[in-house]
Amino acid sequence: MEKEVAKSGKKSLWNPIRKWFFVIHKWAGIVSALILFVVCLTGTIYTFQEDIIRCLNKEKYIVKAVDGTSPISIEDAVQKVKEATGVAPRFINIPYSSDNVWIANVVTPEGGRRGTNYFVNQFTGVVSEGGNLRGQAFFMTVFRLHRWLLLDTAIGRPIVGWATIIMILLVVSGIVLWFPRKLKNIARRLKIMWNGGSYRLTYDLHNVLGFYTAILVLIMSVTGLFWSFDWSRKAIYGVLGVEAPGGPGGPQGGGAGQGQGARSGGARSGGAGSGQDGYKAGGERGERVGQRSEGRGERRGEAARGQRRGSGRSVEAQAASGGDITVAQTDPADTVVDSTAVGLTADYIAFAQLIEAANKEFSYKGNLRITIPSEEDETVSISKSGAAFFARAGSDNIVISRVSGEVVKVDRYSDKPLNQRIASSIRAIHTGEIFGTFSKILYFIACLIAASLPVTGLIMWIKKW
């Protein structure tokens, strides 16, 4: 008798709680259905925007060697860009694949602080603009719809932000409602009953698929708040225990995109992948903040030393193993860099040797970003990020002396504390790039299902109305 009373007490306590969760889930979903459908659908479309734009513009991204021609040197590429634009590049990205075009970023007063990307054909030395790509305008519209519903940012941003908060509430309440009253029936909640009638099918599509994607949708929603409100951005940094930068947070500002510099051979660094990487558009002005852990200290870069003065070499292509760059022997005099080139003097070591040292330090397959130093700088910063199917977000960085070839500093992404790795990868976590193409596929599926949840939810509500 006492057991029955206890069970009755538990049931009477759980039923009103469950009822309130149901009311919250239903009405919050109805109120936000249209906005969440648009945000999730555009997020789904945008997942592979860079890959699609590259596919639509193969003639610009894919280059072939003519009659076995070797790639030009970085020094020559710097000079070619300067001749074409009047300004030396800020950095040059070298993709892992040897037939992918190099990308140089140039900062001019007209181009803004993010700079403008230019394609550099490493076999011919031809420099061309990286904008006006097929598909670029479409994905820019998709991005603006995803972030601001095509409204003014001051209006659209908070609307999407509050809809995202509702999405978090829907996920949490949905998980609570998913659990059956009796745990022995939990197996029924894990599969779709395809022959149970139209309402039952709609219910299962909403309930079962929503459960399977709940964690990823929750991650997307929480990280999405990073760009909606200052308080949410500061709260995320506070939870992670890192210092929040001043000013509104930009996707690649505030540390959100730090550590991904070399990824995709430059598409993360000003939008050569799309001409406008969406997370660098309209009104996002966050200042870049690096939460860097201390490097491994000073060490001797024997790989960059040796017979530099007698082995003038030019970058050929990324080798198939270890991401090393093959260098072709040329006239020894070529190792002494032309002092007329911007940021280069006759006493500095050739970039080919510096890249070789970087690839020995970071021996995996990956994309490189070479930051072009000023004429006075005696060090070069080289970043490398993975290019494999499961490549994790974040890049490793090495600073090498251009005079002695010594490795001044090594900054490995994996050596950073977990909180700093998360803080520097918020953008990658939100977009699904955190584990390369693999996680992008998972995000695409999860986001597509998330877009269907407002539809199936409304169908159930209308049928019961």
pLDDT in tens, 86-127: 999 999 999 999 999 999 999 987 777 889 999 999 999 999
Distance CA 115, CA 64 (A): 27
32-41, 177-186, 256-265, 358-367: lowest mean pLDDT where? 256-265
Asked if the structure places residue 177 within a domain, the reply is: yes
Residue 80 lies in a domain: no
Residue type, 32: S
- Rounded to whole angstroms, the Cα distance separating 148 from 174 reads 26
How confident is the model at residue 375, as a pLDDT?
A: 87
Residue 21 forms part of a structural domain: yes
Q: Residue 84: its pLDDT value, please? A: 94
Same domain, 279 and 183: yes
Q: Assess whether 183 and 255 both reside in one domain.
A: yes
184 lies in the same domain as 279: yes
Query: 154 or 259: which carries more pLDDT confidence?
Result: 154
Pair 281, 342 in one domain: no
Same domain, 432 and 416: no
Burial class (CB in 10 A: 0-12, 13-18, 19+), 78: buried
Q: Are residues 281 and 407 in the same domain?
A: no
Averaged pLDDT for residues 309-331: 34
Assigned domain for 413 exists: yes
Q: How confident is the model at residue 46 (pLDDT cuts 50, 70, 90)?
A: very high
**Does one domain contain both 267 and 370?**
no
Better-predicted residue by pLDDT, 21 or 285: 21
What is the Cα–Cα distance from 357 to 324, expressed in whole angstroms?
Answer: 9
CA distance 152 to 282: 10
pLDDT at residue 249, as a whole number: 41
Confidence band (pLDDT; 50, 70, 90) for 253? Answer: very low
Sole residue written with tokens 């397959």:
365
Same domain, 271 and 341: no
Same domain? 455 vs 312: no
Asked, for residue 98, whether it belongs to a domain, the answer is no
Query: Are both 238 and 311 inside the same structural domain?
Result: no
Instruction: Give the count of domains, the chain.
Output: 2
Last residue of a domain, one of 401, 420, 439: 420
Per the domain annotation, does 336 fall within a domain?
Answer: yes
Closest CA to 366 of 382, 350, 354: 382
DSSP 277: -
> Is residue 279 located within the same domain as residue 181?
yes
The pLDDT-based confidence of 333 (bands split at 50, 70, 90) is very low
pTM over 0.85? The answer is no
DSSP string, 187-237: GGGGS--TTS-HHHHHHHHHHHHHHHTHHHHHHHHHHHGGGT-HHHHHHHH
Domain membership of residue 367 as a residue range: 302-420
Mean pLDDT of 316-345: 37
Strands 313-318, 325-329: pairing kind: antiparallel
- In a domain, residue 319? The reply is yes
pLDDT level of residue 220 (50, 70, 90 thresholds): very high
For the segment 417-427, the average pLDDT, to the nearest whole number, is 96
Residue 9 inside a domain? The answer is yes
What pLDDT does residue 256 have? Answer: 53
Q: Are residues 228 and 284 in the same domain?
A: yes
